[in-house]
Structures are given as C-alpha cells and as structure tokens.
Amino acid sequence: MGTIRAMTRRTTVFSAHQPAVAGPAQGGLTRRTLLAGGSLGLMALGLAGCAGGGPVYYTLAVVPGAVVPLPPGAPTVVEIRQPGIAGGLNRDRIVTADDGYRLSISSTGAWSDSLAEQLGRVLAGDLAQRLPNAGVFVENDAVSTTPQAIVELSVTRFSTNPQGFVALDGTVLVRRAGPAAATPVIQRVTLQGARAGNTLDMVRELSTLVGRLADLVARSLCALPPLPDPAQG
C-alpha cells in the first residue's frame, strides 16, 4: 500500500531582547519597562500559539494492483482527462463526510494540491502500474503524445458515506480517441471501503478506492474494440 504523506506548516517565532539597563537612576522606569515588555512578550507568544496551528496537508498515493495483460489491438497510449469534481468537494479543506444533506469538513486537514490534479495523477500512476505495456499520461502533462484511448472521470462523492464507510462515487467514461471512435463505455461507479477513524485513515482508504477504480478502467480499456489493422486498410 502506498504511503500517505502528511505535511504541516511550521511557524517560527522571533522575539526581540530588551536592552540592558544602565544605572540605578532609571530603576523605576526600568521596572515598568520590563513589566510592559514581559506582557508584550506573553501576548506575542499567545498570538504565535494561535497562529501555529496551521493545516495538516494530505496527498493521495498510488496503490499497486494486479497487472493486466493487453490483448492484441488494445490501446497502448492512454490519456487521463482531468477529472471533474463536484463543487462541494472542490475545496482546499478535506470533506470528511457526506450524508446526502450535509457536508462535514476537516478543521485541520487540507489537500496538498487540487483534488482534481491529485486524482488524475494518481489514477494515471495506478493505471500505468496495472498496464506496464501501455503509456499513460495526464491531460496537459509536460510529456504527452497522441492517445489511442481516453479516460474521463466525474466524482460526486469522495469521503465517508451516510453509513460511515469511505466511498468513491462517480462516473467513468472509456473510449477510443478520434472523431470516428466507437461508442464509449460509460459506467456508474460506486466503490465502498472500510471505516476510517481519522483523516489519515480516510485518505489512505480513498487511495485504495482509486486503485480499485484503476482496476475497472484497465479492464474497460482491454475490452475496447481493437484498432483496425493498417495492412487490411
């Protein structure tokens, strides 16, 4: 299972030292200055303590699965389009629960980058591991080529469901590339994992569900109509 990385912002507090007191003639003033300085110092530390509780950042990870052999004529170059994310999920803070009428959002946990980018990247990594004889890249990737097949994903749930289980709901479309491509394969996806005791467990389980989605996509790619044989064209 992949490793989920959690990153925390740290706040460094700098404090100014009080100047040295020169001479007993300033004793009263010095005492007031020191008391005032001490109060300001405590105030600064209190504010720093409040500001130091920054978000904990989480990222999805690739979860290895079974290798799927490509049949003859199956696409060997696959493009993952950037997934569409439901508006309620498309935020920096992690949605931890969705009971159908109310979203629960983590007060401390946040995604390390946009959820759409993470999903596209991790799905591509999962798929590349399962289809080692195929090239898989994400839409608008720096390194890309002309695809033979396209994978599109729309996500409507990516959190715990009303029953308390981690779930991934959405729609996935797999099709041949090109204007003359055959009818695409469209599947409604409802994947359910285990319960999660905390945000880290939930993100780990969500990564596993993305891996299971990659298993489904790999089988769908292998089931696409074969490419026409150029020798017979």
74 has pLDDT over 90: yes
Give percent above pLDDT 90 in the chain.
66
Report the predicted TM-score, pTM, of the whole model to 2 decimal places.
0.76
Q: Name the residue ranges covered by the structural domains of the chain.
A: 56-227
Q: What is the pLDDT of residue 124?
A: 98
Determine the pLDDT at residue 111.
98
Residue 110 has pLDDT above 70, yes or no: yes
CATH fourth-level superfamily of 56-227: ABC-type transport auxiliary lipoprotein component (3.40.50.10610)
pLDDT band at 52 (very low <50, low <70, confident <90, very high): low
Q: Tokens representing 219?
A: 């089988």
Alpha carbon distance 179, 175 (integer Å) = 11
Mean pLDDT of 173-186: 85
pLDDT at 95 over 50: yes
Span of 12-16, 154-158, 215-219 with lowest mean pLDDT: 12-16
pLDDT band at 231; cut points 50, 70, 90? low
Question: Is the model's pLDDT at 186 over the cut of 70?
Answer: yes
pLDDT for res 181: 67
